[in-house]
Chains A and B, each alone.
Chain A
Amino acid sequence: GQQLNQSPQSMFIQEGEDVSMNCTSSSIFNTWLWYKQDPGEGPVLLIALYKAGELTSNGRLTAQFGITRKDSFLNISASIPSDVGIYFCAGQLDNAGNMLTFGGGTRLMVKP
C-alpha cells in the first residue's frame, strides 16, 4: 500500500524559531492535508491542499502541495509554546472517500 515518509521524526526548537517539516510519497495523491494532535486528543485539521503547486496559509502556518503530487511541506513561523504537539501529513486518493494515508508524524517540542 501507499507509504508516506514524514521528516523529521522530532524537533526541539527555541521559541520564536521557524519550523519546517515535509512528507514524501512513492504514490500520487490528489489531496494533501496536515493535522496536529495534542496529548489525549484526536488530530485536528490545520491545512488542506487540493491542487498541485498550491500554497496555502493559516495564520503562522504555510503548506504547499508539491508539483509532482508526491510531496508536501509545512512551515510554522515564529513558533510559540502552544505549537507543541505531533504534526501529521495525510494524503487522499481520488475516489477514496475519506480513506487517508497518514505519515508517521513529527513531534515538535518548543523551549520557551
Chain B
Amino acid sequence: KAGVTQTPRYLIKTRGQQVTLSCSPISGHRSVSWYQQTPGQGLQFLFEYFSETQRNKGNFPGRFSGRQFSNSRSEMNVSTLELGDSALYLCASSPVRTTSTGELFFGEGSRLTVL
C-alpha cells in the first residue's frame, strides 16, 4: 500500500511570495491533517480536512489555508510568505472511523525555505 505522498519535497521562495503544497493520502483514507514542524516551535497543528470540509483549525494566521478534493487529495497554501514560515510541512492521513483515534500516517514532508 503506497504511503502518504507530498510534493514538492523541497522548495525555496522569497518573502512576499505564495506557495502551494500538495498531499496524496493513503488510498481509502479520507482525513488529511497538516502540521508545521520547526526547531523552535516543534510540531504544530495547522488544519484537518475530512470529506472536503475543514474539521479543525490550529492557531495560525489567515495566510495559511487549505482544501481537500473529492478524491481526498489535499493542498495547503501560504500567501505573503514570511521568513518565519520556513519549516517542514507534514501531511498526515487517517482512515475513516466512527471517531478519530489520533493514529496518523505521515508523509515525508515538504521543506520550505523562505529567503
Q: Chain A: residues with CB nearer than 8 A to chain B?
A: 1, 31, 33, 40-45, 48, 50, 88, 90, 92, 96-105
Contact = CB atoms under 8 A, between A and B. Distances in A.
Interface string B100-114: 111111111100000
A99 B45 contact: yes
Nearest to A92: B102
Q: Which 4 A-B pairs have the closest CB atoms?
A: A42-B106, A92-B102, A102-B43, A99-B56
Given A1-B59, A96-B56, A42 B4 contact: yes
A58 B82 CA distance: 42
Interface residues of B, number: 27
A105 B38 CA distance: 12
A88 B104 CA distance: 13
A99 B47 CA distance: 7
Given A33-B102, A97-B33, 5 more contacts: A41-B108, A96-B100, A98-B56, A99-B58, A100-B43
B24 interface: no
Contact of A31 (B35, B59, B101): B101
Contacts of B45: 99-101
